[in-house]
Structure 1
């Protein structure tokens, strides 16, 4: 496929019909459409499959096969698309801090994107699960920024930036970073750890997430399905059988799998 065909296929996948000019409006439009249609998920890891983050493999999986993926796939695809559109974009390494205390050091196994537009730096991240950005935020410290979903901000403490999300309970860390670029070789190494290391949290739980309309978020962690509003308040239900799990993946996340699919993870030990 040539570049025009690649862009057409991607835009059709996410349902984006707007301009292709490298502007903030376009960046926001694509970010929003992407996270509403391509789910964050780690299903292939639990099916014993290798995660290939080569751009051709990612395009085949996320666009042609209409599957989802995690940060190296999601933001890798978006990185490729934005470059084709003429954006000045850099992959940035980070440590995911969700539900982690500040004295804990998580591995540097996350990548998001820094985009330069008209002399200003913007950050977008379609690969951080239930808190993926639905519009870009500007790289400005201590500025509360509304997105299509939650309010966000960037703070700088002890030589580190922290991307935070505002819930009803207060500000919560999403990830920390230093603005260091994450080249392809570093993404390959981090992807190996994330998908293969026994201590990776993607090995011991099923995780699926997607953004909805009106600030809603849908997440599935093992047998718990949650529908969350923009303030972080969630309605949770228990998935009671493998059949129901496959049904929720189809109805809530547009993921179609064979009805006899079995996920190898301790979190899905059915009675």
Structure 2
């Protein structure tokens, strides 16, 4: 029996209902991610869906590089990854996964998160995490990280997740949940979030900053990634890297003019001739510009 007050229960229902979208096409979503499992709101369904979603849809920031806003309605997101043959940003992936879970009958909310990637300083709330509840237990589903956990991580201090070679853990610290992953240099804090609901309008504000601010770290060059249970492939700052969680297997430089081809061959991200030319021009224009990755650098 729940110990929440009526007001708290009402807030939780409101936080969940905002991710429910009429007419969401589950069949088209299932086809795109290759999902053929059950459709009941169980942990088994949640786990299988996150694995299929995370390993079939690449993360890409191409629209941010070109100064375009993200697609933040579920139907538009589906169009982007099917008709458009593109990857998705954090906010787009969060919107899509939350909409799918809601359509299946899960109680689903989202949380605003601070990306740490080992940083000790306070970073901005630039990330979003899907929060799902099954049989009274809460789970973090970080589908938007790109190279994050491949399964839900239970929101319990010390909980761990192991899928293939990827190991993640979550802990409670100073009123927040801190998600960490095992990487080449040991355990690295990836993100942190509090138990405060995030709404679709929050995605709009976050994406506007990341897509338009001249010092946004996502505007300089393409950052694209895909992941499976064994390894990840990442294009960042003109370098194509293949790695396991603890070892870099290969790293090669990608010339600006080769970027559209690499995007298609390595990630299945297809750019039209016009967008391909714009991306190449952007890379060349920004090649010698400084990268802004800390709050102090970004805000000037």
Name the TM-score, length of structure 1 as normaliser: 0.89
How far did 1:211 drift?
0.8
1:72 matched to 2:91? The reply is yes
Distance 2:64 2:159 in 1: 37
* Alignment partner of 1:237 out of 246, 252, 255: 252
Task: Map Cα deviations across residues 19-61 of structure 1 (whole Å, 9 max, x no partner).
Answer: 1111112111111111222110000122232323123322221
SS of the aligned residue for 1:67 comes to coil
Which of 156, 177, 187 is 1:161 aligned to? 177
The answer to whether residue 253 in structure 2 is matched with residue 248 in structure 1 is: no
The residue that corresponds to 2:117 in the other structure is: 98
Residues 194, 211 of structure 1: alpha-carbon distance in 2 compared, 3 angstrom cutoff = same
**Secondary structure, counterpart of 1:208 in structure 2:** strand
Corresponding residue of 1:177: 193
Quote the RMSD (CA, aligned, Å): 2.1
Report the counterpart of residue 243 of structure 2 in structure 1. Answer: 228
Consecutive unaligned residues of structure 2, counting only runs of 5 or more, are: 1-21, 289-300
Corresponding position of 2:13:
none
Quote the Cα distance in structure 1 between the aligned partners of 2:142 and 2:83.
22
Distance 2:66 2:214 in 1: 15
Does residue 204 of structure 2 align to residue 188 of structure 1? yes
If each structure's helix is expressed as a fraction of its own residues, which one has the higher value? Answer: 2
CA-to-partner distance for each residue in 1:209-236, whole Å, 9 max, x for gaps?
1113x42111100310011113353421
2: distance between equivalents of 1:232 and 1:88? Answer: 37
1:122 equivalenced with 2:139 (yes/no): yes
Say yes or no: does 1:110 pair with 2:127.
yes
CA contact (8 A) 1:162 1:176 kept: yes
Query: What's the secondary structure of 2:170's corresponding residue?
Result: strand
CA distance in 2, matches of 1:64, 1:106: 35
Q: How far does residue 182 in structure 1 lie from its aligned partner after superposition? A: 0.6
Aligned length: 263
Mapped to 1, the partners of 2:219 and 2:238 lie a distance apart of 15
1:201-212 alignment to 2 at 5 Å?
201-212=217-228
- The match for 1:57 among 52, 76, 101 is 76
Partner SS for 1:66: coil
Give structure 1 stretches of 5+ with no counterpart. Answer: none
The answer on whether the counterparts of 1:206 and 1:267 sit within 8 Å (CA) in structure 2 is no
